[in-house]
A and B are shown apart, each in its own frame.
Chain A
Amino acid sequence: AQKVTQAQTEISVVEKEDVTLDCVYETRDTTYYLFWYKQPPSGELVFLIRRNSFDEQNEISGRYSWNFQKSTSSFNFTITASQVVDSAVYFCALSDTFSGGYNKLIFGAGTRLAVHP
């Protein structure tokens, strides 16, 4: 079955600390997509990254970086030098052909990140 596990329910850090949010997924498919979304207090989901299963290159975008490892079915997200504005709930999501004909997104439970000044 398809599943996304975000074991960290809440993380609290002090500004400028680095923080890694873990995401472990399960899928029977060989072709799938992984996503990270940010949900600030306003509630609107902000798209951060999409990665397909054939691209295991790590990616860096400013203070954000992602580590995709198929061998461990993990797609972890690191924020370097965290800032108060990074405080939000972060969701990891999976989309594969077994989710249905329209590639439904399966979300993890989310990790609430609190960055304190």
Chain B
Amino acid sequence: GAVVSQHPSWVICKSGTSVKIECRSLDFQATTMFWYRQFPKQSLMLMATSNEGSKATYEQGVEKDKFLINHASLTLSTLTVTSAHPEDSSFYICSARRSGTTKETQYFGPGTRLLVL
């Protein structure tokens, strides 16, 4: 199977601190990874598309300087929420597109719940 992990699964931090979330494809290489945000009782909203070795593409309205994305290898993408504030509290989910497969195949991680106090 294609397994995607996220770390940490839960994080609580103080306002103003930065938080890094890791997304790993465990048994496959992922040229492209996606980062989504989900507020309580809402749908998933794509934040950015991350490609290995290049800059991420951010969706409209997502601050690239606040949500730093690094995709340094074919199995790891990181999302850093800089100077987090309570309104950044959300469920962050990553997905990975398996290299060499048709474009529509995405595998989702278990998500990271962020609570900013």
Q: B77 interface residue, CB < 8 Å from A?
A: no
Q: Which of A42, A102, A110 lies in contact with B43, CB distance below 8 A?
A: A110
Q: Write the A12-53 contact mask toward B (1 if CB under 8 angstroms, else 0).
A: 000000000000000000000100010000111101001010
Report how far A24 CA is from B110 CA in the complex, Å. 27
- In the complex, what's the smallest C-beta–C-beta distance from A114 to chain B, in angstroms? 13
Dominant secondary structure at the B interface = strand
Q: Which residue of B lies closest to A9 (CB)?
A: B41
- In the complex, what's the smallest C-beta–C-beta distance from B94 to chain A, in angstroms? 11
Q: B113 interface residue, CB < 8 Å from A?
A: yes
Q: Is the CB of A107 within 8 A of B43?
A: yes
Report how far A110 CA is from B44 CA in the complex, Å. 9
Residues of B in contact with A, size category:
20 to 34
Q: Is the CB of B93 within 8 A of A45?
A: yes
Chain B residues packing against A (C-beta within 8 Å)? 32, 34, 41-46, 49, 51, 57, 91, 93, 95, 97, 103-111, 113
Chain A residues packing against B (C-beta within 8 Å)? 33, 37, 42-45, 47, 50, 52, 91, 95, 100, 102-110, 112
19 contacts between A and B (CB under 8 A): A37-B108, A43-B93, A43-B111, A44-B109, A45-B44, A45-B93, A50-B105, A52-B104, A102-B103, A103-B103, A104-B49, A105-B44, A105-B95, A106-B46, A107-B45, A108-B43, A109-B43, A110-B42, A110-B43
